[in-house]
Amino acid sequence: GTPAATSAGNDAANTNSSVSSEAEHVRIFDTTLRDGEQSPGASMTFEEKLQVAELLDEMGVDIIEAGFPIASNGDFESVQEIARRSKNSVIAGLSRAAFKDIDRCGEAVKPAGQPRIHTFISTSPIHMKFKLQLEPDEVLQHVSESVARARNWVDDVEWSAEDGTRTEFEFLCRCVEAAIKAGATTINIPDTVGYTTPLEYRELFIKVRETVPNADKAVFSVHCHNDLGLAVANSLAGVAGGARQIECTINGLGERAGNAALEEIVMAIRTRHDVLPYTTSIKPQFLMRASKLVGAVTNFPVQYNKAIVGKNAFAHESGIHQDGMLKNAETYEIMKPEDVGVKATSLVMGKHSGRHAFREKLSDLGFELGDNAFADAFRRFKDLADRKKNVYDEDIEALVEDEISTRGD
C-alpha cells in the first residue's frame, strides 16, 4: 500500500489526485557517513559510525554510503565493519578513478551481503583543467577503466560525473555512455556545487536519458548540494526527469551548506504523493531518532525551524494557530508529528497564545478555574509573556497557584 496514506494532509490531497496510483519506487542512498562526514567539524568516531549505520539500516535506507576507504585506515575499517554488520542495506564505499582507490574500496565493502563500489571523476571543463589537469579524452578513458576495474570486485557499480551540472552536455553523454558500457549499473549526475535549479536539472536527466544509448540499463541518480537552498527541490526535479535514486543525508549534513536532507525528501514524497507519485522504503517513524543521533554524534545542532525534525517543526505559538489546532490539527499541520517519531504537537505558551490554548494548558496542568479567576490568570500570563521570552509550565503553575491563594478559592 502507499505509505502516504497515514499522513495528515495526504488523504484530502489524494481525493483530488489525477495521478495514477502506479507509484514508482525511488531508492534512498544515504551519504551521511561519507559526504555528511565531510562537513567541517562533523567527524564521527568508529563506534558512532556503526551506531548511525545500524539505525539507517533499520530505518529502511536502500544504500548506505559508509565512507571513503582510501581516505584513512579509520575510514577503511569503519566501512569494512559496517559491511560486516549490514542486514538489509546495500553498503557502498566511495573511490576516485585510481585503481588503488578502487581496490581499497572493493576490499572494504567485500563483507557486505550487497556490496557496491561508487567511483567518480570530474567531468566539467573547470575541474578537468585545474583540478585533474587532464584532457577530456583522458578523463573518458579513466571512466571506462575505473568502472571496469570496479566490476572485477562487484556487480553493483555506481559511477558519478563530479560537477555534472557544469559539464558540457555532449561530453557528459559520452562519459555516461562509456560508464554504462563498462558495466556501471547506477549513473549519478551530481550537482556538486549546488548550482543548478529544478527545471534545469529535470531537463538534464530527460535529455541525458534520451541521448545516451542503453540509458535504460542503469538507474539514474541525483546528488544535490544546498548552496542555494535548492537541494531538496532539485532532487525531486531530477526524479521527475527520470532519476530513481536520491543521494541525501540526515539533517542535510554535508560539505558547505550541506546535501539534500533525507527527512525532507521522504516526507515530501509521502505528504504530496498526489503530485510526487513515488514510494521509498524509509520508515518515517525513525526520522526524529536518526536526526537526534546524527546531531548528537556530530555535535551539529539542528536549527529550530528545520523542516520535519527541527524543535519548532510541530510547535505553534500564535493564538490563531493554537486555536485552530485545538479544533482540528489539520488546520495548521500537513503531517502528523507521530508519523516522523515526534511525540506530539506542542503548543508553546507565549505572548501570541490565546485563551483557548491557555485553558487547554491549565487543564493539562490539572487546574480548573472559574471564569473570573481564569480571566485574571490569563491577564497575568499575558503580562508575564511580555516580560519573559520563554514561559514554562512551572511559570504558569506558579502564576495560577498565586492566583488561587490570593483569591482564597
Nearer to ligand KIV, 106 or 164 (CB): 164
Q: Which one of ligand KIV, Zn ion, none interacts with residue 278, CB within 5 to 8 A by kind?
A: none
Element (H, E) at 120: strand 115-122
Residue 83 near residue 129 (C-beta atoms within 8 A)? no
Residues of this chain that interact with Zn ion (CB under 5 A) are 35
Residue with Cβ nearer ligand KIV (106 or 190): 190
Give yes or no for residue 158 binding ligand KIV (CB under 6 A).
Answer: no
Exactly one of 29, 76, 120, 286 binds ligand KIV (CB under 6 A); which one?
A: 120
- Among ligand KIV, Zn ion, none, the one that 381 touches (CB under a kind-dependent 5 to 8 A) is none
CB of 192 to ligand KIV, least distance (A): 3
Q: Which is nearer to Zn ion, 35 or 323 (CB)?
A: 35
Q: Which entry of ligand KIV, Zn ion, none binds 198, CB below 5 to 8 A by partner kind? A: none
> Can residue 7 be called a binding residue for ligand KIV (CB under 6 A)?
no
Q: Could you tell which of ligand KIV, Zn ion, none binds residue 160, using a CB distance below 5 to 8 A set by kind?
A: ligand KIV
**CA–CA dist 123, 178 (Å, integer):** 13
Residue 238 in contact with ligand KIV, rule: CB under 6 A: no
| Contact of residue 120 among ligand KIV, Zn ion, none (CB under 5-8 Å per partner type) | ligand KIV
Buried residues in 117-147 as b, exposed as e (16+ CB within 10 A): bbbbbbbbeebbeeebebebeebbebbbbbb
Contact between 164 and 191 (Cβ < 8 Å): yes
In sequence order, what are the residues at sequence separation of 6 or more whose Cβ sits closer than 8 angstroms to the Cβ of residue 304?
A: 310, 311, 312
Q: Which stretch binds ligand KIV (CB under 6 A): 48-56, 185-193, 212-220, 272-280?
A: 185-193
Phi and psi dihedrals of 360, rounded to 5? -60, -45
Of the residues 192, 196, 226, 235, which one makes contact with ligand KIV according to CB under 6 A: 192
Radius of gyration of the chain (CA): 25
Residue from 190, 238, 252, 341 touching ligand KIV (CB under 6 A): that is: 190
Task: Identify the CA nearest to 194 among candidates 233, 249, 231.
Answer: 231
Which one among 39, 95, 146, 160 touches ligand KIV, defined by CB under 6 A? Answer: 160
Considering only residues 17 to 76 of the shown chain, the ones binding ligand KIV according to CB under 6 A are 35
As a dihedral over the C-alpha atoms of residue 326, residue 332, residue 334, residue 336, rounded to 10 degrees, the angle is -30
Instruction: Name the binder of 162 from Zn ion, ligand KIV, none, CB < 5-8 A by kind.
Output: ligand KIV
- In whole angstroms, what is the distance from residue 190 CA to residue 238 CA? 10
Residue 223 marked in a binding site: yes
Asked if 93 interacts with ligand KIV (CB under 6 A), we say no
- Residue 175: CB partners within 8 Å, gap ≥ 6? 123, 139, 140, 143, 161, 167
Closest to 333 in 3D by CA, of 346, 351, 319, 352: 346
Task: Give the C-alpha separation, 74 to 68, whole Å.
Answer: 10
Rounded CA separation 13/3 (Å): 14
**CB 267, min distance to ligand KIV, A:** 23
Residue 186 site contact among Zn ion, ligand KIV, none (CB < 5 to 8 Å, cut-off depends on kind): none
Residue numbers in the known binding site for Mn(2+) are 35, 223, 225, 259
Residues that bind ligand KIV (CB under 6 A): 35, 120, 160, 162, 188, 190, 192, 223, 225
